[in-house]
Every structure is written in structure tokens, then in C-alpha cells.
Amino acid sequence: GQVPSNPNPSQIIHSAISVSLENLKTAQSEVKSILDASVGNLNRTNAANKYLQQLSYSLHRTRATYQALTRGKIKDARAWMSAALVSRSPLKYVNGTKEVVETMSSLNEFINVTSNALSMMVSYDNFGDNVSSWTPPATERDGFWDKTGGPKVGAGPTLGFPSGLKEDVTVCKNGKCRYQTVQDAVNAAPANNGVRKFVIKINEGVYEETVTVPFDKKNVVFIGDGIGKTVITGSLNAGMLGITTFDTATVGVLGDGFMARDITFQNTAGPDTHQAVAFRSDSDFSLLENCDFLGNQDTLYVHGLRQFYKKCRIQGNVDFIFGNAASVFQDCEILIAPRQLQPEKGENNAVTAQGRIDPAQSTGFVFLNCSITGTDEYMKLYKANPKVHKSYLGRPWKDYSRTVFIGCNLGALINPDGWLPWSGDLSLKTLYYGESKNTGPGSDRSKRVSWSSEIPDEHVDKYSVANFIQAEEWPKSG
């Protein structure tokens, strides 16, 4: 982490990343000490274990950032450093001891240095070596727009599911295949696979299981027999002892390069259960096409990194697309479902709750050519009493929440306000909620809240698949 006496900008950023790595290692060893001292304290042991896991991912992404920067891959570096910037520690919720307080201070140090490194990367990406032009991190609300070079929205390469993939293994319910569970098939995938896809064909059937694709299982592909035919279902929820929202996912993916097609992912947790995730992803370069995500609160947890959803159907009611990934949803059908308890009473639904915590993070949600409407049951309730059934495009889970809808069809159920506050004025000055060229009865911007924006025509292309998630850079593979 030594800076030369007359450093160039790249060396300054490398040095900041080195300091981040050291802070992370310090936090790791402090958390290990907390773990050793927590025998018999289930809450603290759980929190420390989860946090160690989180830190190890951050360490991996921070190292990758350093290497990407060395190779001149600035967009990758920004994506990975954005993912390394963990928000808060699970330890925050555990009774404070001196050790916990010390660890939190190491973490704060890491967050500050990482945030600075990220903001320098944004400036470096936009202004190069001309350090006098470098600025503190700003957002679209401040009039700052990342430079764009890739194809425009609706033009140029998009991402699609590769054709002609041959299955490596098959899963089926009738005992005639090698694997009867999806997890057993995932376990058979090689660790740290290069660019070759490991293809798992999941035959028609209802698979009641909780599936994890671990960090070292890269390029895993699920191919089903169709929405409603191949169904992976679970019912874990955040009301259960020791279970966090992150843990509730029916399918949770950590390995990069994940793909899925023709599958229903669902969480059937009952009405009293709070967060219950059907699918969660931290997979960089992940692509899901023609999939169904069914749940209520927190259906789809796009937790981190670059993700693409094409021709999918996503259903829920409370914050049901949430997380802090850089995610593009193209040609998707977004469906608001009735609440499970007393659905006729009325409610406030938010389609999205994007969780960006730093203005320099390259994360956000982009909806291109999607339709936003309700299930048949919800629309019956809405039409019977539109005043009490209120649905919104999103609400700001974190300070720099960023979500845009471009060329989408917004149904009548979208409230004229368009967007919902989270709590008072929280985040309303720092978020970016943008709309452009939407159609349908819910698209009228004349009554929108003052803190939402019309995206200027000349900047819409910032949110193309090529510019926002670097479609042209995704690994080509067979």
C-alpha cells in the first residue's frame, strides 16, 4: 500500500484499495475473536458467523477490484468494489461488548476508505488522469451522468440465453435420473469452473427444497421444462428463530455466471411471516430468462453485482424486488398480488426497494419495456375500491436508492404519486427515481412526487443494457 513519491491517479486508487484490504483483514480477525468469545451465546455466534461470511466475500471482491484496475477494467473494478462495500454488520443488532464496538470501528474505517476509493474510480472512469476535474461523488439529481459509450436503449447487443447448451446432469422426481434433488446436482458441479457452463436440466416436477449455489460454483445453469412445470419451492421466512431475510431464499446464488431458464421459483410462507424470499442472487453476470418468481413480501432479492432478467414474471406485494445489485429487467411482467390477510382492507404496495448506500456505487434497478399491473385477484379488489388499494413504483430502502422505468406500460393501479417515502424525508434528497417514455394509465407524471424525475432524453442511454451492466463485456461461454 506504499504510494510512490509522485503517484499517478491509478497508483493512488491502488493504494486506497490496499488500505481497504488491510482494514478488512483487521475486521476479520476481530470478528474471529468475538466468535471465540461467544460460545453459548447463540445470537452473537450466528451474527459473527454471518458477518465472517460477508467479510470473506468483500475480501474476494476487493482483491478482484485491485486486479481489474491493474488490467484497465475500470467498469469491473467499480462493480466489484460496489459489492465489497458492505452496509452494516449483523453484529450491530447484538448486545454491544468492547470487542463488538472495536470491530464496528474497523468496519467504519473500511467503509470510509472503500467509499473514497470508489469515488476516485468514478472520477478516473469519467475524467481519466485529469485530476483537477475529479469531483466528490454526485448523482443524477446533482446533474452528474456517467459517460456512455455503448449501444443505446433498445439498440445493439442485448443479453440472451445461449442456445444449444447440453445438460451435464439431470434432476427428476421419478427416480430415473442420477439426481432427485436440485441441491445434489449443484453439489456435483466443479468448483471454480472457468468459463464452461455446468448445465443442470431440472425435469418437470415440484421440488420442495432450499437450494444454495456456493461462491466457488461458477457458471452453473438451471434449465427447466417451463414456468409452472419445473417448480422449486420453499417456505422459510424471517419470522423464524435465527433466520434473516438473506437466509429465507428458496434458491440463493453466490457463484458468478449463474443462468436459469423456464423455471418457477417460489416462497409459500404464510401471511404472518414478514420477509420470505423466492430467489436471491449475488452472482455477477447472472442471467435469468423466462422464469417466474412468486412470493409476497421480498420475493426477489437482487442482493449484489450485475444481473439481467429477461421475459420473466415477478409477483409480490411489499418491496418485492429489492437489494443493491445493478439489475436490468427487460420485457418482464411485474404483478402485484393481494395481501394475504384481509386483502380487501387496502394497503400501500411498493414494487421496488433499491438499497444503494453510497453515491459512487454503480448499482440500481432499470426496467426496460416491462408491464406493471396486478394479478386478476388484485385487480378485482382494486376496481372495487381504488382509493384504499395503493401501489407505487418504489420506495427508498437506503439513502442513494436508484430505480428507473423506461418505455414501460404502467397500469391504472399505480398511484398518481408514483413513488412512496420510506419514512418521513429519509433519502428523499439523495435518491434517484427516474421515468422516461412510459405508457399506460399509470404513467402520467403530472401528479408525481416532487422528488422523482423525468430522465432527460440525452441521458436515457446511460441505462441501456450495454452501459448499465456492460452487456458487451459479459464472458462468452459454451
How many other CB atoms are there within 10 angstroms of residue 281's CB atom? 27
Residue type, 78: R
Cβ 103 vs Cβ 34: under 8 Å: yes
* Cα–Cα distance, 390 to 418 (Å, whole number): 10
* Cα–Cα distance, 410 to 407 (Å, whole number): 9
* Cα–Cα distance, 263 to 265 (Å, whole number): 6
How many other CB atoms are there within 10 angstroms of residue 126's CB atom? 16
Phi, psi of 109 (to 5 degrees): -60, -45
| 174 class by beta-carbon count within 10 Å (0-12 exposed, 13-18 middle, 19+ buried) | exposed
What are the helix (H) ranges across 37-146?
A: 42-70, 74-84, 98-127
* Cα–Cα distance, 237 to 471 (Å, whole number): 34
Catalytic residue (choose from 76, 282, 319, 358): 319
Residues pairing with 330 in the sheet: 310, 368
**141 SS3 class:** helix
Output the CA angle 400-366-236, nearest 5 degrees: 80
- Residue 384 host element (H or E): helix 376-384
**Cβ-proximal residues to 341 (8 Å cutoff; 6+ apart), any chain:** 271, 272
Catalytic residue (choose from 282, 298, 358, 461): 298
Q: Which of 386, 301, 312 is nearest to 347 (CA)?
A: 386
**How many angstroms separate the most distant Cα atoms in the chain?**
72
**306 SS3 class:** strand
As given in the structure block, the three cell numbers for residue 409 are 406500460
Residue type, 287: L
* Cα–Cα distance, 188 to 217 (Å, whole number): 10
Residue 319 appears among annotated catalytic residues: yes
* Cα–Cα distance, 90 to 396 (Å, whole number): 21
Catalytic residues: 298, 319
